[in-house]
Structure 1
Amino acid sequence: MNRRQWISIAGISLLALLAGVVTSQWIYKTGLASDPAIKAFFANPWQTADGKPVDTTQWQGKVLVVNFWASWCPPCVEEMPTLDKLQAEFKNQNVLFVGIGIDSPSNIRQFLEMTPVSYPIVIGGLEGSNLSKQMGNSQGALPYTIIINSQGKSTSSKLGKISEEELRKSIKSAL
């Protein structure tokens, strides 16, 4: 190869490297769930705290606010009244909140007796924790909230307690 060809190859390689770095940084910063993770979410055999199966086909076509939480997690418990308030506010706009309890069924039942919410709560357990990681929660910490638009695409996520305004803005951008 002559010098000109080497320079061309080096230039193309440099551009490819730069494109890869920029793309990986964007994916890292967005932390958005992949299509397979969203499919796994809908395919999971979710159950209520009473052991009843949940039909996730009723969740499809809606904007979902999926909140991974546990009764032993103070920030999780603190944000639940806000989640409940916003579920009522957005109910008629095809928005559904879903709580994934990373806890035992008995703990979740006991918690919900004292702190009822108007949105469905399902048992996540270990599989729910793994799923939250697949959906962008690289640290596996709680609470973790992810917004899925009506087309089944993740539009935003938040690790840690989410504010009312932040959540309202994320929901409106997904509508």
Structure 2
Amino acid sequence: MKKIVSLAAVLLAASAFAGNLSFESGSIKAHTEVFGDSSIDPTAKKATSHLSMDAAPATLKGTIEISMSDLISDNKKRDTNMQETLESSTFPKAVFEIKEVVVKGGDNVILKGAMNLHGVTKPMSFEGTVSEEASKVRIKVKSSMKMTDFGITPPKMVFLVVRDQVDLNVDVVLKR
């Protein structure tokens, strides 16, 4: 009987650390540049989380997505051009699916998975940290990608072309 009670207590304690994670706050920034302007930083300040994690970061799995219309910079005209370039009315979301978490030590991880953007799915990895405090999980990771890998033609402005590489910086807090 004691073994059954002990097992039940362990299962209940484990279930307190398991579960779905919902987006609470943070940002997902997509940095690129054009000659003379290195401050092109459209940012989404909300996301939809379909993530879950048990007690350890290695168990993190699921997807996180943003609406392309939520990517906003400091320039409305640029945002309009960006939405046209991304064809956000046809491809309204970007979704990253975490398929594997490689723990490098401490909170340091590599999130390996697949990015679906502009109707194209490609393998992608993010490197950074996953940490937990109380009932909140913070994911702070970065990666880079090329627009052309996802079928997106970098926009041109007269003689200037926006850099093909986009640096992604994710800093989000999720709650259990």
Question: TM-score by structure 2 length?
Answer: 0.28
Going by fraction, where is strand more abundant, 1 or 2? 2
Going by fraction, where is helix more abundant, 1 or 2? 1
Higher relative contact order (CA 8 A, sep 6+): 1
> Larger Rg: 1 or 2?
1
